[in-house]
């Protein structure tokens, strides 16, 4: 009982350590990623841009100096200062629209951040798989080298023929090349993670997958995470902005007001006063509100479709992960009762098993182990598609 408890506590400690390392890697990448840094600067620039063009138009000053003819009549000086205004509610809607766009900028940045972090998550899982394969292939190489050296010694003593020796050499060569290819893939994954980390080497990487509690009920789980999709948040905000744009468009189609000061001076006479003008909205704004309403309807339909596609995509990923989980358990059970490498080696050493049959039996076990590790990786990749939406 104490032994079982110890094993459970050890497994829990390993999972906690793996999750901590995994989370620290993602935080490190989020802090150092140069693409995200560029996105942050662009977001700041976009926020400033959204605040431009929302104020009143500049005032206009017009000055005129007219010479009289004949010269005896003197000259004339005209001065006009005017300021045009949109309908007052337009400025309120412009401010609200600018604030809403700034909120959307933050949402878009969160979406870009989430995409990069998810890319890092998938690369990390791929690296863990390659690292676990590396340990397996390293053990196979040791076994292949030991076998090859033993058969080379027997060949030198004249106990076996060259064909038997060559089989072990080919087996050794296959093990060496498999490990070399694995190391190339590992270095590539590390380079990709380093790229995402702004060119800096990651501080820590472990050979354990991140922990994840697989949801037993998809519907309940989806209800908890459905609002965590930044892409859908952006589209929802876009609909809200489109509705606000409708209000602004209506306000801009209302009469515009122009007010100003006017003076006219001639020889011995001065005329001055105020001027007021109102635009008559007849043709310029035709169909603008109608167009904006249609735009809002289109955005709403696109959003509804995106929500449906999002749910269906997650359901497919959920079903895939669930099936892979069951397959993974089958492989674990099979390997727990068929791990007979030592028995095969003893049978070979005692002459109860030929070399060709030994290598054949060993290859069957290796193929099963490879399938198990691939299934474990595929399960983790499928789970990562679900895990990215949890916060």
Among candidate residues 383, 371, 365, 275, the one with its CA nearest the CA of residue 321: 383
pLDDT higher than threshold 70 for residue 221? yes
- pLDDT of amino acid 202: 82
Band (147; pLDDT cuts 50, 70, 90): confident
Among candidate residues 136, 98, 119, the one with its CA nearest the CA of residue 29: 119
What the chain holds in terms of domains, given with CATH numbers, is: 21-57+89-145+175-254+286-387 (1.20.1600.10)
Band (103; pLDDT cuts 50, 70, 90): very high
Range of weakest confidence among 42-51, 82-91, 349-358: 349-358
- pLDDT of amino acid 171: 85
The percent helix, strand, coil of the chain (3-state, each to 5) is: 70, 10, 20
Across the chain, the runs of DSSP E, i.e. the strands, are 60-67, 75-85, 257-266, 269-278
**For residue 321, what are the CA distances in angstroms to 11, 131, 317, 324?**
22, 22, 6, 5
Look at residue 161 and give its three-state secondary structure: coil
The contacts of residue 163 (CB under 8 Å, 6+ apart) are none
Q: Is the peptide bond before 70 cis (omega within 30 degrees of 0)?
A: yes
**Beta carbons of 344 and 368 less than 8 angstroms apart:** no
CA angle (78, 82, 85) in 5-degree steps: 165
- pLDDT of amino acid 382: 93
pLDDT tens digits, 290-321: 888 898 999 999 999 999 999 999 999 999 99
Band (350; pLDDT cuts 50, 70, 90): low
Burial (Cβ within 10 Å: 0-12, 13-18, ≥19) of residue 102: middle
Token pair listed for 274: 């105020």
Buried b (16+ CB within 10 A) or exposed e, 20-48: ebbeebbebbbebbeebeebeeebeebbe
Q: Report the distance separating Cα 49 and Cα 73, nearest Å.
A: 53
Report the mean per-residue pLDDT for the chain: 84
The edge-to-edge listing of strands for the beta sheet with 257-266 is 60-67, 75-85, 257-266, 269-278
- pLDDT of amino acid 348: 65
pLDDT higher than threshold 80 for residue 281? no
Span 207-233, average pLDDT: 88
**Beta carbons of 98 and 120 less than 8 angstroms apart:** no
Token pair listed for 365: 């076990």
Span 168-195, average pLDDT: 92
Q: Report the distance separating Cα 305 and Cα 191, nearest Å.
A: 38
Among candidate residues 255, 107, 240, 120, the one with its CA nearest the CA of residue 191: 120
CA angle (39, 40, 42) in 5-degree steps: 60
Q: How many CA atoms lie within 13 A of 307 on its CB side?
A: 16
CB atoms within 10 A of CB 333: 10
Straight-line distance from the first to the last Cα atom of the chain, in angstroms, rounded to the nearest whole number:
37
Look at residue 37 and give its three-state secondary structure: helix
């Amino acid at each position: 009982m104490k032994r079982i408890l110890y094993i459970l506590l050890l497994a829990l400690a390993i999972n906690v350590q793996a999750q901590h390392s995994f989370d620290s890697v993602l935080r490190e990448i989020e802090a150092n990623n140069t693409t995200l840094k560029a996105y942050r600067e662009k977001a700041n620039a976009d926020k400033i841009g959204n605040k431009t063009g929302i104020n009143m138009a500049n005032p206009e000053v017009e000055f005129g100096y007219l010479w009289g003819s004949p010269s005896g009549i003197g000259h004339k000086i005209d001065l006009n200062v005017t300021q045009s205004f949109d309908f007052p509610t337009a400025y309120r809607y412009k401010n609200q629209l600018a604030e809403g766009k700034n909120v959307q900028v933050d949402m878009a940045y969160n979406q870009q951040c989430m995409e990069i972090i998810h890319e890092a998550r998938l690369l990390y899982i791929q690296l863990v798989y390659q690292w676990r394969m590396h340990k397996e292939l390293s053990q196979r190489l040791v076994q292949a080298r030991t076998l090859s050296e033993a058969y080379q010694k027997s060949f030198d003593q004249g106990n076996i023929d060259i064909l038997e020796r060559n089989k072990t050499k080919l087996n050794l060569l296959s093990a060496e090349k498999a490990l070399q290819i694995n190391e190339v893939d590992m270095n590539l994954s590390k380079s990709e993670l380093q790229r995402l980390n702004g060119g800096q080497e990651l501080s820590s990487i472990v050979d354990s997958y991140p922990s994840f509690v697989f949801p037993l009920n998809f519907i309940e789980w989806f209800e908890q995470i459905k609002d965590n999709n930044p892409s859908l948040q952006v589209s929802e905000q876009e609909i809200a902005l489109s509705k606000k744009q409708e209000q602004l468009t209506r306000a801009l189609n209302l009469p515009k007001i122009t007010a100003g000061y006017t003076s006219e001076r001639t020889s011995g006479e001065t005329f001055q006063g105020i001027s007021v003008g109102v635009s008559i909205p007849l043709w310029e704004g035709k169909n603008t509100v109608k167009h904006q309403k249609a735009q809002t309807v289109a955005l709403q339909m696109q959003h509804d479709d995106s929500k449906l596609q999002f749910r269906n995509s997650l359901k497919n990923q959920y079903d895939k992960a669930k099936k892979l989980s069951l397959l993974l358990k089958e492989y674990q059970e099979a390997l727990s009762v068929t791990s007979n490498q030592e028995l095969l080696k003893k049978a070979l050493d005692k002459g109860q098993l030929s070399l060709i049959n030994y290598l054949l039996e060993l290859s069957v076990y290796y193929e099963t182990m490879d399938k198990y590790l691939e299934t474990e990786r595929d399960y983790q990749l499928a789970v990562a598609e679900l895990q990215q939406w949890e916060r």
